[in-house]
Amino acid sequence: MADSVANYLGQGTPASISKLGGGFSSANHLIEMQDGVKCVARLSSDGERLQKEADVLSLVSAREPSVPVPKVLDVFEQQADAPIACCLLSFCSGEPLDKAEDALSAEDCAQVCTELAAHAAAIHRIKFEQNGFLTTGPGIGLAFPSYVEGTVDYLSLCIENPTFLLRVGDNRADKLRALLGREELHLPPNTQCLTHGDFNQKNILVERNAKGKMVVSAILDWEFALSGSGMMDVGNLLRFEDESNGVDTETFAQAYVSAGGQMAPNWRAQAAFADILPQCNFLMEEVERPTTVKTALAVLDRYLSVF
């Protein structure tokens, strides 16, 4: 890997290597060469997931080049003597929106929100033949017969899971069962489209450009990307809207539609339903993570109050 880093970023050994934050199944290291050029080594024991992420990034760069994502420089596959796979990415400057948003002015927030909506609309223009989980290529690994069956069937599965039921209790479970028959929640206008899968403030970098405007500099961490509905990303982004200064709901919605994004009149309810599913996934996990469970229950309660 060191030789490839040198080939891409300059001659000689790296001047420094430092650890950055990681994704769910990956770790990131910032590599700075002697000439000051930087890149990021994304490491994972799940080589297939890492390759899928690299393929999704390349697809976005090719199909929607206006969307700011890291460029894939190289991928090093897992070997018998190297069980960790590595994806070498271009370095993207900026600060995560969840860290920056409290210090932003109303004008800055509106600018970021408008840009982010345009990027989301562009991402959701990338279409697949089916809904489902992505694999390398990127292609469809596990297909859903339809968006409705993929989402409603999964929620039904969760509601029958003993671990899930123990955590949510009978009252929440009854409210979730009632959603299964709410057809208007299950039919968003745009499905079979590229969906980031973890589209929130911690994976969005912002910075001030040369003209003094606060802009979106990168959208990171595509390891959960799938073919689904744009409402999945909208719901994720607005999950903590009451606590976030960086994203104003109405500004985002107007800018998203202006940029070609598709929203139904009841888009808020459809986005909330879509974002219930990852909360249910957290609550169905066998591993004990008290903080995650507490947060997921709080989000679930807020969504259920909407319905």
User: Helix 230-237 vs helix 267-284: angle between axes, to the nearest 10 degrees?
Assistant: 80
Q: Compute the average pLDDT of residues 175-203.
A: 96
Q: Which of 29-43, 71-85, 89-103, 130-144 is the least confident region?
A: 71-85
Pairing assessment for the beta strands 193-195 and 85-90 based on DSSP bridges: unpaired
Q: pLDDT grade, residue 191 (50/70/90)?
A: very high
Q: Compute the average pLDDT of residues 216-234.
A: 97
Amino acid at the residue 298 = A
Averaged confidence pLDDT in the chain = 92
Q: Compute the average pLDDT of residues 174-200.
A: 96
Q: Is the pLDDT of residue 1 over 90?
A: no
- Smallest CA-to-CA distance from 263 within 228, 234, 306, 236 is with 234
Q: Compute the average pLDDT of residues 146-167.
A: 96
- What pLDDT score was predicted for residue 82? 64
Whether the CB-CB separation of 256 and 247 falls below 8 Å is answered with no
Residue 287: Cβ within 10 Å count? 7
- Helix locations, the chain, DSSP H: 2-9, 47-63, 97-100, 106-123, 147-159, 162-179, 230-237, 249-258, 267-284, 290-306
- Smallest CA-to-CA distance from 142 within 56, 25, 228 is with 228
Q: Is the pLDDT of residue 4 over 70?
A: no
- Smallest CA-to-CA distance from 195 within 274, 259, 94 is with 274
Cis peptide bond prior to 188, omega within 30° of 0: no
- Both structure tokens of 28: 């990131």
Express as a percent the part of the chain with pLDDT over 90.
Answer: 78
- Both structure tokens of 165: 């039921």
Q: Compute the average pLDDT of residues 10-14.
A: 65
Distances (CA, A) of 285 to 149, 163, 296, 299: 21, 7, 12, 16
Read off the pLDDT of residues 74-83 as tens digits, 9 standing for 90 and up: 998 776 666 7
What is the C-alpha separation between 123 and 70, in angstroms, rounded?
Answer: 14
